[in-house]
Homo-oligomer: A and B are copies of this chain.
Amino acid sequence: VSRYRHLAFLTDYGLEDGFVVVCHGVITGIVPEARIVDVSHQVPPYDARRGAIVLARSAPYLDPAVFLAVVDPGVGSDRRAIAVATESSVLVGPDNGLLLPAADVLGGVTSAVELDRADLFLRPVSATFHGRDIFAPIAARLLGGSALGDVGTPIDPAGLHRLPEPQVVEHADGVDAEVVDIDHYGNVQLAVAWPALGVDDGDGVVIRVDSGEYRVAVGRQFTSVPSGGLVLYADADSRAAIAVNGGSAARQLDVARGAIVRLSVGRTRGR
């Protein structure tokens, strides 16, 4: 009956306090048959940028959906509460940049509203748990069939808050790329699309990070290099990434999200 497959839910709440299931309860209290899928609730506290990455990665596989995303260091301040529509999905959360990368991969924002319909909130509205009191009830309404215009006042999508773009700077024989993500395995994802790097299987690349200089083989998969070896590869998001076969590249290179990795590819490619 719904135009959405499910409500996809992401937060930085963690799973230990019951905050996530409280929101589930609010949603199923409004839409009893709601199907809720948990994207992740392990976003590091207050880290909207990391939340945006995880949401954007999973959005194409969950679309069409109501996305409910709450990583909200400014809860209770004057940051706006918003819902934005893409061609097939809607996204609900704070206006702090969390939602837009996902909206972008779904084709871009087609319209947006500020959530100002207090009669739709859980009341009294707390000052610190808008996930429960504002965002979950609104997401449930949208899942239940309400239109965007039913839950708020139209605002200009151009005025929505955006997170800074990750740094990528080309240099003479390669590129300086920011580490945009480090996953559960310690694989290091860089802010550069794989094709843009122009390397081929079997090439050798030199990378430079704060901890030193490393020679890295270009390969298709982790096992392209011996156990413990470094490999530069196109990851499952089609981005350039560095892994260690059977280990953690983040640990071996001693890098964190936000670090800059200098890749020197020019000379070794022999072009």
Contacts and interface: CB of A to CB of B under 8 A. Distances in A.
A223 B74 contact: yes
A236 interface: yes
Given A76-B220, A184-B45, A62 B16 contact: no
A58 B19 CA distance: 7
Interface in A1-42: 5-6, 8, 10, 12-19, 21-22, 24-26, 28-29, 32, 37-42
Contacts of A14: 42, 183-184
A8 B37 contact: no
A243 B128 CA distance: 11
Given A57-B18, A184-B14, A235-B126, A25 B62 contact: yes
Q: How many copies does the complex hold?
A: 3
A55 interface: yes
B235 A19 contact: no
A222 interface: yes
Contacts of A62: 21, 24-25
Contact of A58 (B18, B37, B183, B185): B18
A267 to B, nearest CB: 26
B184 A13 contact: yes
A26 B235 CA distance: 18
Contact of A28 (B6, B128, B181): B6
A184 B24 contact: no
A234 interface: yes
B233 A127 contact: yes
A184 B61 contact: no
Contacts of A42: 14-16
A55 B18 CA distance: 7
A35 B62 CA distance: 15
Contacts of A43: 16
A57 B183 contact: no
11 contacts: A16-B42, A16-B54, A17-B183, A21-B38, A22-B58, A73-B223, A75-B222, A76-B220, A77-B221, A126-B234, A129-B235
Top-5 shortest CB links A-B? A76-B221, A25-B61, A129-B236, A14-B184, A16-B42
